[in-house]
Structure 1
Amino acid sequence: MFQSFEVTARPEQGPPRLKALRQELIGEGLDGFLIPRADAHQGEYVAPHDDRLAWLSGFTGSAGFCCALRDVAGVFIDGRYRTQVKAQVAADFTPVPWPEVSLAEWLKEQLPQGGKVGFDPWLHTPGQIALTTDALAGTGIVLQTCDNLVDRIWTDQPAPPMLPAKPHPIEFAGESHASKRERLAKDLAEAGQLAAVITLPDSHNWLLNIRGADIPRNPVAHGFAVLHSDATVDLYMAAEKLGGIMDYLGSDVRCHAPDAFLPALQRLDGPVRLDKQTVPLIVADALGERLQWGDDPCAMPKACKNEAEISGSAAAHLRDGAALCELLAWLDAQAPDTVTETEVVSQLEAARRRDNALQDISFETIAGTGPNGAIMHYRVTEETDSLLEEGQLIVLDSGGQYLDGTTDITRTVAIGTPPAEARAAFTRVLSGMIAMSRLRWPEGLAGSHIEAVGRMPLWLAGQDFDHGLGHGVGAYLSVHEGPQRLSRISQVPLQPGMILSNEPGYYREGAFGIRIENLLVVRKAPALPGGDDHRKMLCWETLSFAPIDKRLIDPELLDQDARDWLNSYHAEVAEKIGPRLSSATKLWLDAATAPI
């Protein structure tokens, strides 16, 4: 099994750590301190060195934060994590439903007489701080910058990651870093901006066609970059990471130590573009009046994959689908009550490792059976490892990081004979996944305009789920990539080349979970026979290929169009994946993909 790099804390470790933090609050004259799940680069994923939220509270979700006051500590979590947080934090921490309850609203209740709440300016964006500060106007509660108090008490904090960066081959990148720099620099010049500061690791790694290993499961190298309007770049990255890429980067990319970053910003001529949603506040403060707010210049170009990236992703998905099929065939051959979740994880990761192009898994594999499946981002541990029992379901969400692409696929599998209520819910989830896969929509629409299509079959039954319908995916980069999303809050228009997940689900706490996920790429829709081409349309091309468990389908709830799509999809799975399988698994796949 691949090594796990997550910082974990048992619930009983939280209270003494919280007590030590509160001693620091008293010493600093503060009433509270904010602990986000963020690092100085403001990506979604953090290295063990920066996983302060997990170390303090025990909560390991990929989003959320803690506000530790002298007498109460709120852990703010969204709907994805409300079951998980109950099992991970001690009673000294109070889960807060967020964003239904904002930080400002909570602070008003907890500090009615006013107070000072400290925060590390490297770990919060200007947008985050401005939103809360504005909402606290007139309350006497202030947010103020301070040293990181968690770092003071974390005596065995892991060292910052220092693994070497490497070039990303042009056959997979599809465009040289010189071409990317020139293309983006032209946009800066046309906007009248002299430079743009880029702090997101996947953005400047994409720009320079480099990859690294500073984040578990995400092939990025930490650093900061300044792209200038003359197409040169100043890269601020530790020397330990640069040894193998200096010649590759060339003279137009100047390399500096990370400590030189803030002083250089203070000397930088403006205007300088900053993304309010992704840069740390301390960067904005260093630039002062020379900054201009704007989007990360890499965000949209990175999101719209070129044909080399799409072809690489498609090829990676075929090999990944074969590995998943080997696991599913093995699982089907096991009797109920004989296999544990960790055995499933080990078998799947072993199947993926047979591919020499695999660099790592793309996230910690989710293999949740029975009630564990209802925890959306479940991670099996020694304490929670469970047998796959008769009549249960297992949610298997996993992926790989290959040199030519990043994969992410979820299948829900029946163990023995599934209950009728689970089959009904599964069929509704499947109907939503198929409806989105079949969708054609006018150019210019965002994820918020179309994501309800994947929820409608559940809504008609009074059911829903608390995560987005889909997230963006990188090209041998982060498995969660913005700015595109299938979400009711996303206003980013979908464009050709974007890769997104399509993953409706349903979760019944204490009973079972269901999720079905494929990755899709946005394409220009071909003209329909007899159509009048009234609007330019977009559509999806499916990248993921693995069978969907027919034992969980209630045929009475699946309409004919959905049946036709499923049968066509399964025929494609058999055609594309079958030749890549062992003979035994090929026989299994033939049965698993037979028409319904």
Structure 2
Amino acid sequence: MFQTFDVTARPEQGPPRLAALRAEMAREGVDGFLVPRADAHQGEYVADCDARLAWLTGFTGSAGFCAVLPDIAGVFVDGRYRTQVKAQVAPEFTPVDWPETQLTTWLCDHLPDGGRVAFDPWLHTVAEVEKWAPLEQAGIRMVRCDNLVDRIWADRPARPMNPVKAHPLEFAGEPAAEKCARLAATLRKAGQDAAVLTQPDSIMWLLNIRGSDIARNPLAQGFAILRADATVDLYMEARKLTEVRGHLGENVRLHAPDDFLGDLRAFTGTARIDPNSAPQAVADALASRAVQGDDPCALPKARKNAAEIAGTAEAHLRDGAAMVEFLAWLDAQPPGSVTETQVVTRLETARRRDNALQEISFDTIAGTGPNGAVIHYRVTEETDRLLEPGHLLVLDSGGQYLDGTTDITRTIAIGSPGAEERAAFTRVLQCMIAISRLRWPRGLAGRDIEAIGRMPLWLAGQDFNHGLGHGVGAYLSVHEGPQRLSRLSHVPLEPGMILSNEPGYYREGAFGIRIENLLVVQQAAPLSGGDPERHFLDWRTLTFVPIDRRLIETALLTAGERDWLNRYHADVAEKIGPRVGETARRWLEAATAPL
């Protein structure tokens, strides 16, 4: 099973590690080195052995990077982590607002006379490296080298070698051979001989397998080449594949990971690589034989089939029952008697009563009071707080079940909430309802509709520093692309795509609010009087857990919003009530009573 190590630098460890890296830079003859939060597969989550950014700086967020120069070390983080990074890094590291400040601009400002900045080509994508082209005009050379952090990380954990298992067809919904044939046809149509797959979730989906190399994610690390004849070359440690050799079949050829680069160099023909996920090292090996294009698995994986949607819907009902049992218990505890750590433990215990649960889908976020304002907060011994009267609890959690992946956030009142908190919560709820009620013309992307889920906050001069929603896998990664509810997303939303709907509001040092449901895109039913030539989409809600009525300022809701919430709570009571015990059922009846 997965074993975790504490690879995070404590504040006092950061400066000596930084000094050791700078000494290695001097030996290499470079003026800078980039340390991203990435591995060779370019997924969001990394194994302990690849957690170089956390080991060096102490920052544990899921996105960001450090640019180390002789006299400054910039830690680049986006809006989700600007509170967190200040608490985690030593003064020797300088937080940088990203993407507002781009690496190219920052390097030009801090290396005005030019210089050599080294990077590991396995840890940066083709698209990322292409963005560095303007640096040449400033006399800054970006040079490839082996990883300098690895040279100084004496106790680096071993690479995970956990067994791979077959994913049952009843949950996958389509045999792996049919997926390979379907995608191979798209390669032939494009005149391409193969596609190089570097992201583990694509390989897991394509071959109907799952692993446990990455904490909280059912992924096995490896690479693959899907060929136009529908055969696959899989580069993965043989000892991980003992249980699935028969499942993989004759059309999947097994290779040692060390053979991957050599086989790419020897490849003849054209091979598709996704510039947004393929490491630069892959493009270097293929040279002129590489052609850029989307990962052929990305969109088919995002468009869930009927079996995947049915499984995910069922997983959410069981997950909802676990949440209701937990919330009923929490509501019965006196304010000031429960800690954040106890919340995390109790909720995980409630989920683990389900034998289909394989793992939680990410480290549970349970932040009360000012900790709730840290968007991706994770409780530690040092930060653990009591749930005190008048505070809010932001509880973001989920499960990895054999039939689906869940992700839900609820904000819970501890005692009597204040007027400011109630007003802000109601606006966040209005944002969530606005998206949930939305119908939109087919062909629109996340960027085209996400502002609708911010408008109630904008009207009050408020906003939040994270996307409105992310894609979710089917017993795969809890954060899955390419679909997103984000102003950066150009990918049209299509039936079968599962996304989160999670507006929030955060007052640093005071409180946080977030409400999250998962939704699946579906074809909208025609409306009387509607244009028959136009095709619309809407949502099917997957998450069924009460929203805390104590935090709602009912007078701020429109009649339509109030009706939506009452219908939603009636559905929660109907679907979850038969699945919980008597005490939780009585709590649920009160929690879902009409406004």
Matched residue, 2:88: 88
Matched residue, 1:47: 47
Matched residue, 1:174: 173
Q: 1:574 to 1:357 in 2, by over 3 A?
A: same
Pair 1:154 & 2:150 matched: no
AA aligned to 1:500 is L
AA aligned to 1:68 is V
Report matched runs for 1:482-497 at 5 Å.
Answer: 482-497=481-496
Cα drift, residue 7 of structure 1: 3.2
How far does the alpha carbon of each residue in 1:128-157 deviate from its partner, in whole angstroms, 9 at most, with x for none?
01102x221311111100110101111110
Instruction: After superposing the two structures, state which structure 1 stretch, 472-481 or 265-274, moved more.
Output: 265-274
Cα drift, residue 62 of structure 1: 0.3
Cα distance in structure 2, aligned partners of 1:325 and 1:4: 30
What SS does the aligned partner of 2:129 have? helix
Cα drift, residue 270 of structure 1: 1.7
Q: Percent identity?
A: 70
Cα drift, residue 247 of structure 1: 1.0
Cα drift, residue 6 of structure 1: 6.1
Cα distance in structure 2, aligned partners of 1:408 and 1:456: 24
What SS does the aligned partner of 2:543 have? coil
Matched residue, 1:184: 183
Structure 1 runs of 4+ aligned residues shifted over 6 Å read none
Matched residue, 2:60: 60
What SS does the aligned partner of 2:137 have? coil
How far does the alpha carbon of each residue in 1:240-259 deviate from its partner, in whole angstroms, 9 at most, with x for none?
21111111101100000000
Matched residue, 1:76: 76
Cα distance in structure 2, aligned partners of 1:529 and 1:127: 47
AA aligned to 1:543 is L
Matched residue, 1:123: 123
Kept in 2: contact 1:5–1:216 (CA 8 A): no
Matched residue, 1:23: 23
How far does the alpha carbon of each residue in 1:491-512 deviate from its partner, in whole angstroms, 9 at most, with x for none?
0000000000000000000000
What SS does the aligned partner of 2:12 have? helix
Matched residue, 1:201: 200
Cα distance in structure 1, aligned partners of 2:394 and 2:4: 20
Cα distance in structure 1, aligned partners of 2:523 and 2:207: 28
Pair 1:386 & 2:392 matched: no
Q: Cα RMSD (Å) of the superposition?
A: 0.9
How far does the alpha carbon of each residue in 1:470-489 deviate from its partner, in whole angstroms, 9 at most, with x for none?
00000000000000000001
Matched residue, 2:461: 462
Cα distance in structure 1, aligned partners of 2:8 and 2:258: 29
Cα drift, residue 386 of structure 1: 0.3
Unaligned runs of 5+ in 1: none
Cα distance in structure 1, aligned partners of 2:384 and 2:219: 31
AA aligned to 1:121 is P
Matched residue, 2:523: 524
Report matched runs for 1:85-484 at 5 Å.
Answer: 85-132=85-132, 134-484=133-483
How far does the alpha carbon of each residue in 1:262-317 deviate from its partner, in whole angstroms, 9 at most, with x for none?
00011112211010010000100111111110000000000000000000000000
Cα distance in structure 1, aligned partners of 2:512 and 2:8: 24
**TM-score normalized by structure 2?**
0.99
What SS does the aligned partner of 1:30 have? coil
Cα distance in structure 2, aligned partners of 1:146 and 1:4: 28
Matched residue, 1:576: 575
What SS does the aligned partner of 1:308 have? helix
Cα distance in structure 2, aligned partners of 1:413 and 1:529: 40
**TM-score normalized by structure 1?**
0.99
AA aligned to 1:119 is F
AA aligned to 2:171 is F
What SS does the aligned partner of 1:82 have? helix
Kept in 1: contact 2:5–2:157 (CA 8 A): no
Cα distance in structure 2, aligned partners of 1:568 and 1:350: 30
Cα drift, residue 109 of structure 1: 1.1
Kept in 1: contact 2:410–2:516 (CA 8 A): yes
How far does the alpha carbon of each residue in 1:197-252 deviate from its partner, in whole angstroms, 9 at most, with x for none?
00000001100000000100000111000000000000000112111111110110
Matched residue, 2:562: 563
Cα distance in structure 2, aligned partners of 1:145 and 1:288: 15
What SS does the aligned partner of 2:561 have? helix
Cα drift, residue 13 of structure 1: 1.0
Cα distance in structure 2, aligned partners of 1:303 and 1:48: 27
Pair 1:14 & 2:14 matched: yes
Q: 1:587 to 1:474 in 2, by over 3 A?
A: same
AA aligned to 1:527 is P
Cα drift, residue 5 of structure 1: 5.5
Cα distance in structure 2, aligned partners of 1:176 and 1:25: 49
How far does the alpha carbon of each residue in 1:488-544 deviate from its partner, in whole angstroms, 9 at most, with x for none?
010000000000000000000000000000000000000113333241000000000
Matched residue, 1:503: 502
How far does the alpha carbon of each residue in 1:45-101 deviate from its partner, in whole angstroms, 9 at most, with x for none?
100010000000000000000001111100000000000001000000000000000
Cα drift, residue 454 of structure 1: 0.5
Cα distance in structure 2, aligned partners of 1:131 and 1:251: 41
What SS does the aligned partner of 2:499 have? strand
Cα drift, residue 10 of structure 1: 1.3
Kept in 2: contact 1:76–1:97 (CA 8 A): yes
What SS does the aligned partner of 1:421 have? helix
Equivalences, count? 594
What SS does the aligned partner of 2:96 have? strand
AA aligned to 1:114 is G
Cα drift, residue 3 of structure 1: 7.8
Cα distance in structure 1, aligned partners of 2:583 and 2:490: 47
Cα distance in structure 2, aligned partners of 1:313 and 1:335: 35
AA aligned to 1:202 is D
Kept in 1: contact 2:569–2:592 (CA 8 A): yes
What SS does the aligned partner of 2:13 have? helix
Cα drift, residue 4 of structure 1: 5.9
Cα drift, residue 108 of structure 1: 0.8
Kept in 2: contact 1:4–1:364 (CA 8 A): no
Cα distance in structure 2, aligned partners of 1:256 and 1:396: 43
What SS does the aligned partner of 1:530 have? coil
Cα distance in structure 2, aligned partners of 1:303 and 1:364: 23
Kept in 1: contact 2:79–2:465 (CA 8 A): yes
Kept in 1: contact 2:4–2:48 (CA 8 A): no
Kept in 1: contact 2:524–2:536 (CA 8 A): yes
How far does the alpha carbon of each residue in 1:543-595 deviate from its partner, in whole angstroms, 9 at most, with x for none?
00000000000011111100000000000000000001010000000000000
Cα drift, residue 260 of structure 1: 0.4
Unaligned runs of 5+ in 2: none
AA aligned to 2:31 is D
Instruction: After superposing the two structures, state which structure 1 stretch, 523-532 or 173-182, moved more.
Output: 523-532
Cα drift, residue 390 of structure 1: 0.6
Kept in 2: contact 1:448–1:489 (CA 8 A): yes
AA aligned to 1:40 is A
